[in-house]
Amino acid sequence: MPTPFALTPYQTAILPDWVDYNGHLRDAFYLLIFSYATDALMDQLGLDEAGRARSGHTLYTLECHLNFLDEVKLGESVEVRTQLLAHDAKRLHIHHSLHRVGVAAALAESEQMLMNIDVSTSRSATFDEQVLQRVQALGEAHASFTTPVCVGRTIGLPPART
Protein backbone atom coordinates (compact mmCIF):
# COMPACT_ATOMS: atom_id res chain seq x y z
CA MET A 1 0.00 0.00 0.00
CA PRO A 2 1.39 3.45 -0.89
CA THR A 3 2.56 5.79 1.84
CA PRO A 4 -0.36 8.12 2.61
CA PHE A 5 0.03 11.56 1.11
CA ALA A 6 -2.53 14.31 1.48
CA LEU A 7 -2.04 15.24 -2.15
CA THR A 8 -1.89 13.22 -5.37
CA PRO A 9 -2.27 16.22 -7.63
CA TYR A 10 -1.43 14.72 -11.01
CA GLN A 11 -1.83 11.46 -12.95
CA THR A 12 -0.95 10.71 -16.57
CA ALA A 13 -0.08 7.97 -19.03
CA ILE A 14 3.40 8.11 -20.57
CA LEU A 15 2.93 9.43 -24.11
CA PRO A 16 4.87 8.33 -27.23
CA ASP A 17 6.47 11.77 -27.71
CA TRP A 18 7.91 11.54 -24.17
CA VAL A 19 9.89 8.34 -24.81
CA ASP A 20 13.53 8.16 -26.02
CA TYR A 21 15.42 5.73 -28.26
CA ASN A 22 15.77 3.29 -25.32
CA GLY A 23 12.00 3.13 -24.84
CA HIS A 24 12.30 5.08 -21.57
CA LEU A 25 10.76 8.34 -20.43
CA ARG A 26 13.14 11.15 -21.47
CA ASP A 27 14.82 13.04 -18.64
CA ALA A 28 13.05 16.31 -19.48
CA PHE A 29 9.61 14.74 -19.24
CA TYR A 30 10.09 13.65 -15.64
CA LEU A 31 10.41 17.35 -14.85
CA LEU A 32 7.42 18.16 -17.09
CA ILE A 33 5.29 15.72 -15.10
CA PHE A 34 6.50 17.26 -11.83
CA SER A 35 5.80 20.73 -13.25
CA TYR A 36 2.19 19.75 -13.97
CA ALA A 37 1.94 18.48 -10.39
CA THR A 38 3.18 21.86 -9.15
CA ASP A 39 0.45 23.53 -11.23
CA ALA A 40 -2.11 21.25 -9.59
CA LEU A 41 -0.66 22.08 -6.16
CA MET A 42 -1.03 25.77 -6.97
CA ASP A 43 -4.69 25.15 -7.84
CA GLN A 44 -5.26 23.41 -4.50
CA LEU A 45 -3.61 26.27 -2.61
CA GLY A 46 -5.80 28.90 -4.25
CA LEU A 47 -3.30 30.01 -6.88
CA ASP A 48 -5.41 28.69 -9.72
CA GLU A 49 -6.32 31.07 -12.57
CA ALA A 50 -8.96 32.87 -10.49
CA GLY A 51 -6.68 33.06 -7.43
CA ARG A 52 -3.80 34.44 -9.47
CA ALA A 53 -6.11 37.07 -10.98
CA ARG A 54 -7.50 37.99 -7.54
CA SER A 55 -4.17 38.17 -5.70
CA GLY A 56 -1.78 39.12 -8.49
CA HIS A 57 0.52 36.36 -7.23
CA THR A 58 2.00 33.19 -8.67
CA LEU A 59 4.75 30.72 -7.80
CA TYR A 60 8.19 30.54 -9.39
CA THR A 61 10.53 27.59 -8.98
CA LEU A 62 13.81 28.74 -7.42
CA GLU A 63 15.59 25.38 -7.23
CA CYS A 64 14.91 21.81 -8.25
CA HIS A 65 16.73 18.55 -7.56
CA LEU A 66 15.67 15.52 -9.59
CA ASN A 67 16.53 11.92 -8.74
CA PHE A 68 15.90 9.15 -11.28
CA LEU A 69 15.23 5.91 -9.41
CA ASP A 70 13.70 3.47 -11.90
CA GLU A 71 12.75 3.16 -15.55
CA VAL A 72 9.43 4.48 -16.81
CA LYS A 73 8.19 3.14 -20.14
CA LEU A 74 5.70 4.04 -22.83
CA GLY A 75 2.05 3.62 -21.87
CA GLU A 76 2.61 3.24 -18.13
CA SER A 77 0.20 5.13 -15.90
CA VAL A 78 1.93 7.23 -13.28
CA GLU A 79 0.94 9.54 -10.47
CA VAL A 80 2.72 12.23 -8.53
CA ARG A 81 2.46 12.40 -4.75
CA THR A 82 3.29 15.73 -3.18
CA GLN A 83 4.47 16.56 0.30
CA LEU A 84 4.92 20.03 1.78
CA LEU A 85 8.18 19.77 3.70
CA ALA A 86 8.29 23.33 5.05
CA HIS A 87 7.05 26.83 4.36
CA ASP A 88 7.42 30.41 5.45
CA ALA A 89 5.54 33.58 4.50
CA LYS A 90 6.89 33.51 0.93
CA ARG A 91 8.27 30.06 0.14
CA LEU A 92 7.29 26.43 -0.15
CA HIS A 93 9.79 23.58 0.19
CA ILE A 94 8.08 20.63 -1.51
CA HIS A 95 8.80 17.07 -2.51
CA HIS A 96 7.19 15.33 -5.49
CA SER A 97 7.52 11.59 -6.01
CA LEU A 98 6.56 9.78 -9.21
CA HIS A 99 4.92 6.35 -8.88
CA ARG A 100 3.14 3.79 -10.96
CA VAL A 101 -0.50 4.29 -10.01
CA GLY A 102 -1.13 2.65 -6.64
CA VAL A 103 2.46 1.41 -6.18
CA ALA A 104 4.55 2.45 -3.17
CA ALA A 105 8.01 2.43 -4.79
CA ALA A 106 9.06 5.78 -6.27
CA LEU A 107 10.27 5.98 -9.87
CA ALA A 108 11.69 9.47 -9.43
CA GLU A 109 11.74 12.21 -6.82
CA SER A 110 12.00 15.97 -7.07
CA GLU A 111 12.74 18.34 -4.21
CA GLN A 112 11.83 21.94 -5.01
CA MET A 113 11.87 25.42 -3.52
CA LEU A 114 9.03 27.62 -4.76
CA MET A 115 8.71 31.38 -4.21
CA ASN A 116 5.52 33.43 -4.12
CA ILE A 117 5.84 36.26 -6.65
CA ASP A 118 3.85 39.47 -7.13
CA VAL A 119 3.43 39.48 -10.92
CA SER A 120 3.15 43.28 -11.09
CA THR A 121 6.70 43.68 -9.76
CA SER A 122 8.22 40.24 -10.53
CA ARG A 123 9.48 40.27 -6.94
CA SER A 124 8.86 38.01 -3.99
CA ALA A 125 5.83 38.74 -1.86
CA THR A 126 4.18 37.25 1.19
CA PHE A 127 1.33 34.86 0.48
CA ASP A 128 -2.05 36.49 0.46
CA GLU A 129 -4.17 35.54 3.47
CA GLN A 130 -6.41 33.02 1.68
CA VAL A 131 -3.43 31.18 0.20
CA LEU A 132 -1.46 31.36 3.46
CA GLN A 133 -4.33 29.68 5.32
CA ARG A 134 -4.28 26.78 2.85
CA VAL A 135 -0.49 26.55 3.02
CA GLN A 136 -0.60 26.42 6.81
CA ALA A 137 -3.34 23.76 6.79
CA LEU A 138 -1.34 21.64 4.36
CA GLY A 139 1.79 22.12 6.46
CA GLU A 140 -0.09 20.89 9.54
CA ALA A 141 -1.47 17.90 7.62
CA HIS A 142 2.04 16.94 6.47
CA ALA A 143 3.89 17.74 9.71
CA SER A 144 3.94 14.10 10.86
CA PHE A 145 5.14 12.67 7.53
CA THR A 146 8.67 11.30 7.43
CA THR A 147 11.22 13.14 5.33
CA PRO A 148 11.76 11.33 2.02
CA VAL A 149 15.19 9.75 1.52
CA CYS A 150 16.21 11.93 -1.43
CA VAL A 151 15.53 15.23 0.36
CA GLY A 152 18.67 17.25 1.03
CA ARG A 153 20.94 15.31 -1.30
CA THR A 154 23.80 16.99 -3.07
CA ILE A 155 25.68 16.06 -6.20
CA GLY A 156 29.36 15.27 -5.91
CA LEU A 157 32.09 12.70 -6.08
CA PRO A 158 34.02 11.56 -3.06
CA PRO A 159 37.51 13.06 -2.80
CA ALA A 160 40.07 11.21 -4.88
CA ARG A 161 42.30 8.91 -2.87
CA THR A 162 45.99 9.46 -3.37
- Domains of the chain: residue spans and CATH: 7-142 (3.10.129.10)
pLDDT value at position 9? Answer: 76
pLDDT value at position 140? Answer: 94
pLDDT value at position 100? Answer: 96
pLDDT value at position 3? Answer: 42
pLDDT profile of the chain (162 residues), mean per 10: 58 95 95 96 96 97 97 95 97 97 95 98 97 96 93 90 80
Alpha carbons within 13 A on the beta-carbon side of 111: 13
Is residue 65 within 8 A of residue 59, CB to CB? The reply is: no
Residue of 17, 27, 4 whose CA lies nearest to 108: 27
pLDDT value at position 4? Answer: 44
Is residue 42 within 8 A of residue 48, CB to CB? The reply is: yes
Query: pTM for this structure?
Result: 0.91
